[in-house]
Structure 1
Amino acid sequence: MSGISWEAPFCQDASNCFRLGTDADGNGYIAVSGQEDRYLTDSLEALRTLITDIKAGKADHLL
């Protein structure tokens, strides 16, 4: 999709790469690297909260 500015891939290892993106309308995007046409989207605030919570360990129980 045009209009999304994707960041460089974030990779845990060679097979687990994700990309974060934003657009001019204030939306945030997450996609598997190489599959940017299949993304999740929400507001930048929701994306910021998700990343902050993950960094704080609130998703550790999923591992």
Structure 2
Amino acid sequence: MPEVTWEEPFCGEGNNCFRLGTDADGNGYIAVAGQEERYLTDSLEALRTLIADIKAGKADHLL
């Protein structure tokens, strides 16, 4: 498992909390808080777009 630096959890109203992380190679990670060993990884730009859409309420059903 790569060395991932996780941010504080983000929790939507009534939804699961998730965490974003990065590694030394510039990869982005997203995981449900408390389950960081089971993560998705993609480019930072792809994950930023996903999170921005979730925060804007466009993809709330994903959580």
TM-score if structure 2 supplies the norm length?
A: 0.72
- What is the Cα deviation at residue 57 of structure 1? 4.8
Where do 5+ consecutive residues of structure 2 fail to align? none
2:29 partner letter: Y
TM-score if structure 1 supplies the norm length?
A: 0.72
Where do 5+ consecutive residues of structure 1 fail to align? none
CA RMSD of aligned residues (A): 2.6
Aligned length in residues: 62
Q: Quote the sequence identity (%).
A: 79
Give 1 or 2 for the bigger CA radius of gyration.
1
Secondary structure of the 1:3 match is coil
Secondary structure of the 1:34 match is coil
